[in-house]
Amino acid sequence: VLEGLEKIDSLQNSAFQADSVLKQIEILEKVAVAFNSVQFHMNQLSEVKKLDHKRAEVLTVSSSIETRLESLFLECLSSHEQEKISRILHTYAIMGKENIVENCFSKSVVRPFMRKVITQGNLSRNGLIKLYKDILSFIPDHCSDLLTVTCNKTRHFEVVPGYDFLVNAVWPEIMLCFDYLDSVTLYSPGDPKLFHQNYTSTMNFLHQFEQYCIENATINKLRNHSSYYEFLKKWNLDLYFQVRFQEIAGAFETSLIKPFDKSENDKLPYLLNITCSLWANLCLCWDDNVFLSPLKSQFFMLSLQLLSRYCNLSFSALIQETEKCLEIAMLMKDIEVLKKEFKRYLSATILPKINVESMNSTIDEAFQDGIDLLSKIPLKAADCVVFILTSRCTGHLKLISDIPRLYRRTNREMPVKPSTYVSLVFAPLNEFLEGTKTILSKEWTDFCKLEVTRGIVSQCTAIVQDVLTSIKKMEDSLKILKRARDKPSGQSTGSGVTDDDKIRRQLAIDVQHLKEIVSNLGIKSDKIISLEELSKLVLNAERVS
């Protein structure tokens, strides 16, 4: 131990007399080796009291070496002499004092720079993006030599291991300065737009900072750093999502108040405001200015909720609707477009942003359930259209019951033209078909035509049957009365055209005209069995009479 201390003292004197920095570094390397030897033996002889007075001398020697090395380190750093920096760091490593030089770099180089750059004034004046840019500029400007010496394995001299200047010296100073910034301005919890902008900028900053770390072990060390974790915790993602949820869900719920209002947005391919609102808010969930990757699960669930709410509201509105056939047709058209657009959007935007390949099948499955629910709406809507149109069309059929009144005891001629009600019956259907030419597909148009016509014919048959039955009963009663009246005189009844014959003829003409209208609609008679039954009903009635 004593010999070692004498050797260190001699070498230190030589170091002070050295005529070059490189020579001083070489001597200090020898001092470090000797110092290590002294320390080792001191530890072995820790119980020897005779050496107690030498322990203070060892601490003095250690401090002296550190002071000299620190001076050389900063001098070589400013002159970008990588070979000398490498040897100085190696000397620190020999002594096991890596943290000393990291602290030296932190206090002497990093701290002055960061305290000048990371200020509330710069943040307010230039914004967070510029602030991060200035912070990152420190690494290539002031850390490149250190990173080359400690991390770059392609250089011509040996890398000095055991150092993490970015993690141990740079990062803590950055975080220390951030603690003095106004948290409301920086983390902006109540302003979702600013929060998103600042959070996105922060993630980009962290990503770029990690790229400078080069090695995975260093990146992991950074991410496990307590200040790194605390910094991320300050970004209140839960609050941000709640604000966005209220914005998106609130806007969508407002549109549901009047589900069949027409859209005024000519930029979207949808006809109803409710569908435009669904699409706009669905896209908002995944918009670059709203979506944040850590919240992918929440935005995924919100998208499903929007889709489900749209479907449930559509079903509910269809149950209650009794008038708006055109708007219901628009809903059918919207869903046809929505299904195609959503599948495209899912593959082009949603899946890439979720970016978890193992979840793709689950996500597809979940959204497919929503699409399947959407697919059930058009049939329900078509049934609703059929019900409304059938009610409107068949309202005119009550005029069939007035035909007997028109011919009984009025001396009217035998009818040759169809009644006006026949054309009126199909007016609501024709109006609907004309208004939905560019809206409904041929499949749904044909479905509505056929089902409404079936409803018309079915009710027409029932009313005609009632009229014919009533005529027959009236006719039979009159015959009985006439026979009773003519019997005493022995007169025979006449066989001319009766009022009832005129009624039957009118019904037959009306049914024939109805068949022509059905044919003009492009509906084949074999598609409506009751139409042939109706035709036979009136023809048989005429024949029997």
Q: What value does the CA radius of gyration of the chain take, rounded to a whole number of Å?
A: 47
pLDDT above 70 (res 148): yes
492/125 Cα distance (integer angstroms) = 117
Instruction: Look at 37-46, 68-77, 216-225 and tell me which has the smallest mean pLDDT.
Output: 37-46
Percent of all residues in the chain with a pLDDT value above 90, rounded to a whole number: 43
**Mean of the pLDDT values across residues 149-166?**
78
Instruction: Identify whether the C-beta of residue 291 lies closer than 8 Å to the C-beta of residue 353.
Output: yes
Give CA separation, 32 vs 13, 21, 46, in Å: 14, 16, 21
pLDDT above 60 (res 56): no
Contacts of 148 (CB under 8 A, 6+ apart): 82, 155
pLDDT above 60 (res 370): yes
Contacts of 525 (CB under 8 A, 6+ apart): 515, 518, 519, 531, 532
Q: Which pLDDT tens digit goes with each residue over 90-121?
A: 888 887 888 899 999 999 999 999 999 999 99
Residue 464 confidence (pLDDT):
85
Torsion of CA 335, 336, 337, 340, to 10 degrees: 110
pLDDT above 60 (res 428): yes
Domain boundaries, the chain: 1-95, 98-235, 238-355, 393-479+498-543
Model confidence pTM above 0.75: yes
**Mean of the pLDDT values across residues 32-51?**
59
Residue 530 confidence (pLDDT):
81
Contacts of 196 (CB under 8 A, 6+ apart): 240, 289, 290, 292
Residue 88 confidence (pLDDT):
86
313/452 Cα distance (integer angstroms) = 25
pLDDT above 70 (res 77): yes
pLDDT above 80 (res 45): no
Residue 11 confidence (pLDDT):
55
Instruction: Identify whether the C-beta of residue 237 lies closer than 8 Å to the C-beta of residue 294.
Output: yes
Residue 334 confidence (pLDDT):
93
CB-CB neighbours of 527 under 10 Å: 13
**Mean of the pLDDT values across residues 527-532?**
82
Strand-pairing partners, residue 262, are 272
Instruction: Identify whether the C-beta of residue 311 lies closer than 8 Å to the C-beta of residue 377.
Output: yes
- Exposed/middle/buried for 6, CB within 10 Å: 0-12, 13-18, 19+? exposed
More confident residue, 24 or 266: 266
318/260 Cα distance (integer angstroms) = 10
Residue 66 confidence (pLDDT):
74
pLDDT above 90 (res 528): no
pLDDT above 80 (res 42): no
398/393 Cα distance (integer angstroms) = 10
More confident residue, 542 or 536: 536
DSSP letters for 302-334: HHHHHHHHHHHHHHHHHHH-SS-HHHHHHHHHH
Q: Which pLDDT tens digit goes with each residue over 387-415?
A: 999 999 988 888 888 888 888 777 788 88
**Mean of the pLDDT values across residues 43-67?**
59
Contacts of 527 (CB under 8 A, 6+ apart): 450
- For the chain, the first-to-last Cα distance in angstroms comes to 141
Q: Which pLDDT tens digit goes with each residue over 134-145?
A: 999 999 999 999
* pLDDT band for position 221 (cuts 50, 70, 90): very high
The token pair that represents 443 in the structure block: 């499949």
**Mean of the pLDDT values across residues 219-225?**
93
pLDDT above 90 (res 173): yes
Residue 59 confidence (pLDDT):
58
Cα of 99 vs its chain's centroid, Å: 47
Q: Which pLDDT tens digit goes with each residue over 309-357?
A: 999 999 999 988 888 899 999 999 999 999 999 989 988 998 888 877 6
Q: Which of 69, 104, 114, 99 is nearest to 87 (CA)?
A: 69
pLDDT above 50 (res 474): yes
pLDDT above 50 (res 493): no
277/291 Cα distance (integer angstroms) = 18
pLDDT above 70 (res 495): no
